[in-house]
Amino acid sequence: MAIQSSKPRDEQNNDSESSYSNFPPMDVSIAFPQATPASIFPPCTSDYYHFADLLTPEEQALRLRVRACVEKEIAPIMTKYWEKAEFPFEVVPKLGALNIAGGTIKGYGCPGFSVTANALATAEIARVDASCSTFILVHSSLAMLTISLCGSETQKQKYLPSLAKLDTIACWGLTEPDYGSDASGLRTTATKVEGGWVIEGQKRWIGNSTFADILVIFAKNKNTNQINGFIVKKNSQGLKATKIENKIGLRMVQNGDILLEKVFVPDEDRLPGVNSFQDTSKVLAVSRVMVAWQPIGITMGVYDMCHRYLLERKQFGAPLAAFQINQQKLVQMLANIQAMFLIGWRLCKLYESGKMTPGQASLGKSWITLRARETVALGRELLGGNGIISDFLVAKAFGDLEPIYTYEGTYDINTLVTGREITGIASFKPVIKKPQISRL
């Protein structure tokens, strides 16, 4: 029979605490001195087949410039912000100074990159931190590109220059609580009124939305029943954006729930080039290629981290790199990256030549993300216990890949896009049998 203490409960709790229970955690470099954490980012070692030879001097220079910036500015702080699920606003001016926002857009203060150069910049940021890569991708390859492709000349001149400098930030709102993969069926509505439009509805999973200055929102025109696009300004009456909590991946990205309650948008902020859901495909064709390059960058970073770790970490009197099974896993990771890079590079060239089809983009995104999951899982095995803490990158990358595997079309949906293209048969909607009616 247990004997109950006569001490008050607060005193019992105090007795159970040690004198050091409230000490701050030990710095990882002191707690585990045998390997270098990701805050000091490893050199790039994944270009085994010298793919740099495929790049123009301008593309190579851009790649190295972005790499140097993110290794210096983002790597030392990313774990802290990722663990707190907060966005590092302090790096926005540094990213703005790179002049990469706007990507392929020509003019209006945008860099006018080739698709290949834009993809390389995306991958280099993702190599160090996928959340910051997603921040730029949403802002640049979705919101800015929509204004560039579907906006009026006045809208381009008004919005793009400040967005290109990252003086203002944008988000892109298509997905809704009830419509994810089936995005064309969205319920948010736009009603024509004198001088503008009234938007009513709800959006979900919208990156950058909690702090964006402008929100590109898609809604169904109640007169035509077609999808239209609108530029909604921050703090518009009836607009609310709240952060989605408890994510396991891309934790620094501020995904939000957007509520639009009779939000008025003036006529000059309706995007004239969005008159049906098909008009969004012009944007998604580019952004899907960019998203395919995010896991390429992530796996490059994971490989670099594992390569250094295996040479530094010793067990049984030898570095982990000396063990056959570890070499086999490392080589498998390296081989995956070579194949992923080649598919990503070929997608860029197909797009630049005007030959890329939706099925090719979907196959690239789905296959690359599948291989990336396998590659990062191998890296997690190689790091042992350190593979489950974010200080050594791999655990963070393991979580960050999961949303990328899903957004811009899930693996399954992208597979069906390719399947439709090669067979001529669409299989998105299941065949629902009608109930049999008795002859009696």
Question: Tens place of pLDDT for every residue, the chain, 440 residues?
Answer: 455 555 555 555 556 677 787 888 889 988 888 999 999 999 999 999 999 999 999 999 999 999 999 999 999 999 999 999 999 999 999 999 999 999 999 999 999 999 999 999 999 999 999 999 999 999 999 999 999 999 999 999 999 999 999 999 999 999 999 887 777 778 999 999 999 999 999 999 999 999 999 999 999 999 999 999 999 999 999 999 999 999 999 999 999 999 999 999 999 999 999 999 889 888 888 899 999 999 999 999 999 999 999 999 999 999 999 999 999 999 999 999 999 999 999 999 999 999 999 999 999 999 999 999 999 999 999 999 999 999 999 999 999 999 999 998 899 999 999 999 999 999 887 766 666 665 65
Q: What token pair was written down for 199?
A: 């938007």
DSSP state of 143: I
- 414/416 Cα distance (integer angstroms): 5
**Residues 6+ positions from 42 with CB-CB distance below 8 Å:** 36, 304, 305, 307, 308
Alpha carbon 41 to its chain centroid, in Å, reads 20
Other Cβ atoms less than 10 A from the Cβ of 172: the count is 28
- 177/183 Cα distance (integer angstroms): 10
DSSP state of 114: -
- Nearest Cα residue to 259 out of 230, 227, 236: 236
- Nearest Cα residue to 75 out of 27, 66, 238: 66
**H runs (alpha helix) in 313-410:** 324-352, 358-382, 394-406
Please name every residue paired with 47 in a beta bridge, in sequence order, or none if there are none: none
One-letter amino acid of 142: L
In this prediction, residue 440 carries a pLDDT of 53
- Nearest Cα residue to 115 out of 287, 330, 258, 259: 287
- 131/79 Cα distance (integer angstroms): 11
Other Cβ atoms less than 10 A from the Cβ of 413: the count is 17
Alpha carbon 160 to its chain centroid, in Å, reads 21
**Pairing verdict, β 214-221 and 196-206:** unpaired
In this prediction, residue 286 carries a pLDDT of 87
In this prediction, residue 1 carries a pLDDT of 47
In this prediction, residue 433 carries a pLDDT of 66
Among all chains, which residue has been given the structure tokens 């983009």? 361
Distances (CA, A) of 271 to 167, 227, 228, 231: 22, 11, 7, 7
